[in-house]
Amino acid sequence: MGPNTAATSAWLTQIVPNYDSYWVQCDLTTGDGLHKRLMKLDEQPAGTPHARQSAGLLYRLDDTPTGPLILAQTWHRPDLTALPDDYGQAETRDMTAFLNHLQQGQQVRYRITANPVRSRSLRVRRDIQTTHGLRELPPDRVPLAGADADQWWTNRAEQAGLAIHNLSQTTPPAILMKAQRGQRRYRHTLLTFTGYATITNLYATRDAITTGIGRARAYGAGLLSLAPA
C-alpha cells in the first residue's frame, strides 16, 4: 500500500502506560521516542520508503480521568509483543465495523490533536529577515493559536467531510525536537480540538480517519477520533 493510498480499515491500539517503566519515561521525554516505539508495532522492512505512511501509523497521547492514554492506529494488526514487558497494558481492536457503520448525516463527537500552522513563502521570509535584520531566515511555518487555529481546524474538518457545530481548544505540551547537525532545535506546537460535528461526506471522513489530518503526524498529530453523539 503506497504512502498516498487510503486504507479501507485500520487497527486501533490503546496503551495505558506504566510510568514506572524506564522505556515509557524515555519515550515520553524525547521528541521522536514514542514515534519510534510505536513504529515497532507494525515494523516495515529495512529500507522501506515512507515507513510511517506504509504502516499507516497515527497516534495521540490523551489525558483521561483515569490517567494518560496512548492511542495508536495502524493499517495492519499490530504486534503487541514488540512492546517491552513492563510498558503498560495494551489492547487492540479492528476498526472495520466502526468505519462501515458511519453514515452520511450522522452526528458525532470528535477529538483530534493537530499541528495548525500557516506556511510562509521564501519571499516573505526574506522580507522579514531584511526588515528585522535577522542573521537567519525565519521559519517557513508559523504556529496558529486562538481564533486562527479554530478557523484552521474548521477548514480542515470541512475537507474531511465534517461540518463543525462547536469546538473547544486545549494545549498539550509542545514537542521539542533534537537538533540535527548544522540545524536548530524546533518545536511542533500541538492543539487538541474537541466538539460535535455532522458527517457531510462519508468517504472523505473515512479517508481522514485512516490517513490523518495535517502536519506532524509522526509526532502525535493528525489522529481523528469519532464517536456517536
State the span(s) of the chain assigned CATH 3.30.70.1200: 11-99
CA pair distance 217, 52, nearest whole angstrom: 9
- Are the beta carbons of 223 and 12 closer than 8 angstroms? no
DSSP state of 218: G
State the span(s) of the chain assigned CATH 3.30.70.1210: 102-228
CA pair distance 135, 178, nearest whole angstrom: 21
Whole-prediction pTM value?
A: 0.84
Residue type, 77: R
- Are the beta carbons of 76 and 55 closer than 8 angstroms? yes
- Are the beta carbons of 206 and 5 closer than 8 angstroms? no
Q: 11-99 in CATH: which number?
A: 3.30.70.1200
In the chain, DSSP finds a helix count (H) and a strand count (E) of 7, 12
Quote the pLDDT of residue 151: 96
Quote the pLDDT of residue 11: 95
Quote the pLDDT of residue 160: 97
Quote the pLDDT of residue 2: 43
Q: Average pLDDT by consecutive 10-residue portion of the chain (229 residues)?
A: 57 95 87 86 65 81 86 93 95 95 96 88 74 77 88 96 96 57 60 97 96 90 95
The superfamily in CATH containing domain 102-228 is: Crispr-associated protein; domain 2 (3.30.70.1210)
The CA distances from residue 178 to 2, 51, 83, 160, in Å, are 29, 20, 24, 32
Quote the pLDDT of residue 63: 85
Say if residue 206 is exposed, middle or buried (CB neighbours under 10 Å; 0-12, 13-18, 19+).
buried
